[in-house]
Amino acid sequence: MDPLNYWAIAERDIEIQNPVTDRKLRLLDNYCDIRDGLSVLDIGCGKAWLMRQWAEKFAIEGVGIDVNARFLEVARRKSPARGRLTFHNRSMSGFSVAPQSYDVVMCLGATFTLGDFPQALDWMVKAAKPGGRVVVGDLTLRHAPVVHRGEILPLDTISMMNVVERHGAEVSATISASEADFERYASHHRHATLTWGRENPGHPDHAEVLKKSRADWVHYQRHIRPMLGWTIFVGRTAD
């Protein structure tokens, strides 16, 4: 099964592809001081819901990068009223930009495309103009498990904020998903994949889609719900 197809199925009915709500994302209008003339880079943009909202209201110049062509089809469907958006269907691997070239460098739920969290911050801060914004949303550790084996855990919010600030951006705001936000996002994936399974019983990926859907659902219930959160950090680079 192509993992890109899995995500196209799991996220076919949603345009915000992370665990926060539209109202929470719109707080970024103010925290990033979005206005006419700004340049925005959206790393792992998916359907680029937020950047499209900004381009409806403001004459921004936005660039979105994503490996999944199905998501970019949605992102490109309607020309925004005021801004100009360009989307590149490619991997972030090997993608480079001139230093200090964007007013807002954003990565919501896709830091893994740039390495680990510190590596992602390093890349993003270098790409931001002096006095620009880096906006990074990622999993956070809310409660450490008493016993833990296996995969590497995310950092807690204090450690993540320290990483952003060590890279030269002052954190001016955070926006966190609630437990209910995360539950809605995970339930959406489960619901959409089960519905797809009923609609496509003969599909060659049927068994694999349902197997991954179940594994992700159990992972959410067992590990994410009790221990992990999801937070957006807004950093401002030095003038």
Ligand X SMILES: C[S@@+](CC[C@H](N)C(=O)[O-])C[C@H]1O[C@@H](n2cnc3c(N)ncnc32)[C@H](O)[C@@H]1O
Interaction between residue 67 and ligand X (CB under 6 A): yes
The answer to whether 170 and 235 are in contact (CB under 8 A) is yes
Interaction between residue 233 and ligand X (CB under 6 A): no
Q: Which residues contact 86 (CB under 8 A, 6 or more apart)?
A: 62, 63, 64
The answer to whether 18 and 137 are in contact (CB under 8 A) is yes
Please identify which residue in 6, 9, 18, 135 interacts with ligand X, judged by CB under 6 A. Answer: 18
The answer to whether 105 and 134 are in contact (CB under 8 A) is yes
Each residue 83-122 as x (binds ligand X by CB under 6 A) or -, in order, gives --------xxx--------------xxx--x---------
Neighbours of 193 (CB within 10 A): 21
Question: Minimum CB separation from ligand X for residue 78, in Å?
Answer: 16
**Segment contacting ligand X by CB under 6 A, of 42-50, 80-88, 96-104, 170-178:** 42-50
Of residues 18 and 213, the one with the C-beta less far from ligand X: 18
CA 48 → CA 8, 125, 141, 154, 220, distances in Å? 14, 21, 26, 24, 24
Of residues 16 and 224, the one with the C-beta less far from ligand X: 16
Question: Minimum CB separation from ligand X for residue 109, in Å?
Answer: 3
The answer to whether 155 and 142 are in contact (CB under 8 A) is no
**Segment contacting ligand X by CB under 6 A, of 12-20, 151-159, 170-178, 199-207:** 12-20
Residues that bind ligand X (CB under 6 A): 16-18, 44-46, 49, 65-68, 71, 91-93, 108-110, 113
